Amino acid sequence: MRYSILLSALLILPIVVKCQSVLPDSGKIYPLAEVVITATRSEKNPLDVGKSITLIPHEQISDSYFNNISELLSATEGIFVVGSGQNFGMNQAIFLRGSNSNQTSVMIDDISITDPSVVNNSPDVSELSLSNIDRIEIVRGTNSVLYGSSSVGGVINILSRKKQKDGLNAEINIDAGSFGRTTSLFRQNLFLNYSDPTGIYLNAEINNENVKGIDATIDTVVTSGVYKNRDRDGFIHQDFIGKIGFIDNQLDVYASYKRTDQKKDLDKRAYVDDDNYKLIFSRDLITYGLTFKPYEELNIKFIGGYSAIQREAKDDSSVISHSGENDHTYNDEKYGGSNSTNDLQLNYKLPYLEFLLGGSFYNETMTSKSYLYSRSMWGVYETTLDLDTLDLNSSTKGIYFHSDINGKLFYDHAGDFNVASGFRLLNHSSFGSKLVYDFNPSYKINESALLYASYATGFNSPSLYQLYSPNKDFVSGITRGNVHLKPEYSTSFEIGFKQSITKSFDVKVDYFETRTNNLIEYVYLWDKNIGIDTLGNDWRRNDYRGDTYLNLGNQFSQGIEFSFSSEIRNDLKITGNVCLVNGKLKYSPEAVDTSTTHGNHVQIFSNGVFMNKEAEFLGLTRRPSTANLGFVYSPDKQVTLRADIKYVGPRGDVYYDSNLGPYGGLGTTPVAGYTLVDLSSKISFNDQIKLGMKLENIFNTKYEEIKGFSTRGRGLFLNIRYSI
């Protein structure tokens, strides 16, 4: 199917060129109301930016019917969010252009919202709601020059709402739905704004969501008489938001506070239920900013933010027999983390030349405390691990410069050529200095068509856990954390074309490839004096020499993206996108840091391979090719009908394989592709009241996103919105 999709995409391209000569008013210029900020850190017309970008304004979000941000992002090209189709509240990880889940920057008002307390510092998208969003800007491709670490796959910037029309503005949204037997979803959202003609505005928002869900794991036990205590897993999410600001022609200043609370029911692992496993999460996010424009050519901007998270996973004893016996275990894990960002930039515009100069400071901390109790026939076992006294933290300082030069600066007839380029010099408290850069030429074929290319380098810093986890092997003395880790370093290339033919047709196509070196892997270490084939064969000896993190191997990803939007007639619009992506991993024994491993055998946990010879793995787990197609029919101004078709291609997933070495490792198992169809509608009774309905997965398709975990079946969701 994916090849037929690509063929269809390629067949459309000649039609696009042909349309220039057959469409009426093809020479007329339609100025765009939108501007993109994230791609260049200054206001630009999207058609003038030589990168693959997507802008999702507030109106598009509110008029569509997405239950959460993960569904919204998954409808755009190049993005697959694992967990978006599973039980509400399941962990949701972003894979953008084949990059890893921790290699995409997710921000709110330019402030990163990573979780420093998790192993690889990757964000959980289920934390984010659709509240308080003015627009979402997606910039694909490496953007470390402008945004630092993690921006290998791209940047997703969620910009919050600012000043509204003068006076009091209010919006109430109520959602209700069901997506399986005895399941329910109830969500209430209240947004209040007061905007004064002087430029002062005040925003407040409350969001509350309560879900009684499905059993998050798949039950494969069919033997009669086996005790089962399977439960349905719920989810509670709340947001409390406040913002104050002032905006006029010269000044834009704001400060905001957001509190997010979540409570999730978890299961033990794939296929294995747990009736007493809870995750409680909270984040306090403060953002602030000031933009001063003393005159037209100069823009001075300061942005900053502070984020603190608390996460507690509590697994109490579970009933394991018909007689009521439990497993006599209790586990309580508490994690904390914070990050702070301060960024000052100066933007100056001259005729045919624009440059940006900035400096940034980023700091993050983490801590954790865990307690395990277990009682068995051999007695009681208790253990505690407390990292509070270690003061785990890291900081990154950086300066960056970026310029945008039009060819007319040098030659009057070269105004169609443009070159954007820049660099970032950073210093990390652990791995020292690093330089990244980019080069982005473009050529404007006409006022509505742009051909562009990009070559960029990027980096992804090791997490605090990977650097400093104190767990130590009592024989070798090797710690799990490795302070000698270097950042993952990427080089990426992209070539693309975008065109807007009047207001009725837009098309984009891109080819990209990315190589990431120094990939950070979790590894087991085994006694170097024992042959690999005989490891673990003698129970009387201890062959294990600990576990740690190492820079190993290279990751390659490449793909093609295609998207279009066509207004066939005034009442019918079609949108679609395709992303074909593939990749591979390569490992070489020469990459092993023997000073860290003490020369012991190295086994990579993520695939079970030993580093005694070169190895290559084709395909990237959980990164499929995808396609989306949407039809929007508006017979009048009051009614909108929509049909959405989503295709996710086959890909690999991981599972624990006990045969991979003495302690096992992760094997790869295939996951079948699937196609989902949704229908939705919006009815406007007047300017204040709108009613929406969505029928999700109308054919009740059975599919998997992660092996062993359930996905939602057919669902019905209703929404009513009242605004003044």
Task: For 7-60, write each residue's pLDDT tens digit.
Answer: 333 333 333 333 333 333 323 333 334 788 888 888 888 889 999 999 999 988
Q: Read off the pLDDT of residues 173-208 as tens digits, 9 standing for 90 and up.
A: 999 999 988 999 999 999 999 999 999 999 999 999
158: domain CATH number is: 2.40.170.20
35 lies in a domain?
Answer: yes
Q: What domain range is 389 assigned to?
A: 2-209+234-723
- Look at 114-123, 240-249, 432-441 and tell me which has the smallest mean pLDDT: 114-123
Q: CB burial class (10 A; 0-12, 13-18, 19+) of residue 74?
A: buried
152 lies in a domain?
Answer: yes
* DSSP state letter for 272: B
219 lies in a domain?
Answer: no
217 lies in a domain?
Answer: no
Q: Read off the pLDDT of residues 557-607 as tens digits, 9 standing for 90 and up.
A: 999 999 999 998 889 999 999 999 999 999 999 999 999 999 999 999 999
What is the full DSSP assignment across 157-214? EEEPP---SSEEEEEEEEEEEESSTT-EEEEEEEEEEEE-TTSEEEEEEEEEEEEE--
How many Å apart are CA 49 and CA 34, to the nearest integer?
12
Return phi, psi of residue 43, to 5°. -70, 125
CB 245 within 8 A of CB 200: yes
**pTM score above 0.95:** no
SS3 string, 371-423, reads: EEEEEECCEEEEEEEECHHHCEEEEEEEEEEEEEEEHHHCCHHHCCEEEEEEE
Average pLDDT in the chain = 91
From the list 327, 247, 253, the residue with the least C-alpha distance to 290 is: 253
218 lies in a domain?
Answer: no
Q: Read off the pLDDT of residues 121-150 as tens digits, 9 standing for 90 and up.
A: 998 999 999 988 999 999 999 999 999 999
Length of the chain: 724
Q: Read off the pLDDT of residues 221-238 as tens digits, 9 standing for 90 and up.
A: 877 778 887 889 999 999
227 lies in a domain?
Answer: no
Q: How many domains does the chain have?
A: 1
Q: Read off the pLDDT of residues 314-339 as tens digits, 9 standing for 90 and up.
A: 999 888 787 878 888 999 999 999 99
45 lies in a domain?
Answer: yes
- C-alpha pair distances (Å), 103 with each of 339, 514, 581: 17, 12, 16
416 lies in a domain?
Answer: yes
Does residue 214 come out as left (phi exceeding 0), alpha (psi in the -120 to 50 range) or beta? beta
- C-alpha pair distances (Å), 78 with each of 86, 153, 580, 626: 20, 10, 8, 8
How many Å apart are CA 22 and CA 457, to the nearest integer?
42
